[in-house]
Structure 1
């Protein structure tokens, strides 16, 4: 396609980014290049190829080919201030690869207390075995944040909204404090993506996403990414290559296809989520709706200030139900599948109780009663929201019948 102006808006970039003519040829999408070996026409070309470690240069299958390069370039164009993007075989691999790129034995890592559970497990397991110490912090207490640093603190892992309980922290303020302390700030930005929150422009050094979710969008691939400015992109790339991280060209093609429609899917799922969250907030069985896009919900003011979009993922907490009642509620749902992940075209539900995976922030909050702790997380898909509301209404009735 013809060269596209660099100042196009994000929705246009979703369509145009990564479609270099030398990668697509005469067709719309880059072909799927399945290849482990890249051949050189002569020895001079082989010697030259080894000197240039960058996307767009054929070398060997671990460094990708046009299918992967096109996806990485498109993600880079969508992330303001990014110099490049590294692809990983899963979202967890992206988190691990990014952390290993910035940490070494003896370092201290600060992790938000509401992080995705695999991130927490990675910190207390894999990184601990490597001699890296992790300290958790309350993401909603920025005044206490500086006291968590020491002269060995090298990185801070943020997530906003937080996993399961959806707290929105002041990312720009926390990232600025980390920079003042000489620490790298990494943000798991899967919930909003670069469309809803420009992580690097808000002060973060590395933006991580699980492409399994919104980018793939169809619950049929596993992939992750990390984008960064020039300094940290080089480190990310070197570390990923040292670890042998590579994504399959078939999955890269699926992710690139999903990327083209991500904007309209996010608009639809976000609008449906807000409608359903608003309905849930009026239900007597619900103690709290944890949806930062909903006016009056926790974190809404920061979401309005910093975000340009949202998604279909949010949670709510029952008011006084027990585990058996929650199980009846979930089992009665017909349009919500019971399963992990989110960001696909279909709606999902999972139960949660964050207490066992929190060390710095109490659950439930002090102003809630002791029983108001059982929650569920909903991933709102592309179904008609009226049908999803009717399904939830039936589930509440089933819960009460026990």
Structure 2
């Protein structure tokens, strides 16, 4: 099924529960079912009689409240949120720490089934049941939050990503109480020709304000239809370093391949094969290290790396690898990893296919085969040592991701009205 089917289902099911827009909350669940992601119907059925015990701080210590959703405790996500939190004092909820609670509400259960099954859509019975069960679960969670959070004194609320269910519930909760809400950009978003699941970052941008990195993201959101006044540019959410020229020994090249997430599993493998073909042209001259995405099958990628003679990196972040690894170039497909490399003073070569034609670029660094990769590397060996090139790179990064900008305190300070 397609994005159009997702939109149809979401719009057809539109309704509120205690003032909460349930389709804002259900967006990720609906798009996962329409895009054919795996479903555990038993798990969803059990969840329909449970709630997530999301507890707001019993005693307010600061005027701003931050939240982190249950996204597998990804270190890079926490780094982004921690940067925002370091800019302004605030209380904090980590939904990954929230416990499950029994919440049997027969009315929630049957009204949710009724809301879903009256739809005329091509969604399977299993898909409809899954959505209905989760709808009941989110209603139970709303009931729990409202019972335990009678009084709210915060002046601002900032979620990590309000496009996803539990943080969407909190965002709805605070907006219903007329408290301004904000959400953070956590990747270099751009509009695909065929919208992937990530499209909900645009389509379900429910917070009052999106705090985005640079002008590029703001332009993309405006292109999608989000009003300009709902988007504030705040800068890249990490400490930045001065970007300086560096020398490359063309007789001893060291490359770092930054794998994309599991959705692009086959693309990762295509790039690894391409790199192997390239390295065979320069025996003993080029070495490559593979850094996998957390969502990938680590053992499988380790075996593939070993079969090609690549080094397999385990347990390190992109930043630590780049800082300590002594690499000459990074190779990336994922846009965020690609830009991260440049921000850490490492030129990145960007694999291009039909899906990535509209993707952001720092330099003319795209390639699609071994010959193009060789051409780019030869060109950038000379460019890496030129001060003018890094001035251009800095300017481009400022547009793409807000390099050199930091407005988190200005925007999130609870004493200011934005």
Asked if these proteins are the same fold (TM beyond 0.5), I'd say no
Q: Which has the higher helix share?
A: 2
Question: Based on CA coordinates, which of the two structures has the bigger radius of gyration?
Answer: 2
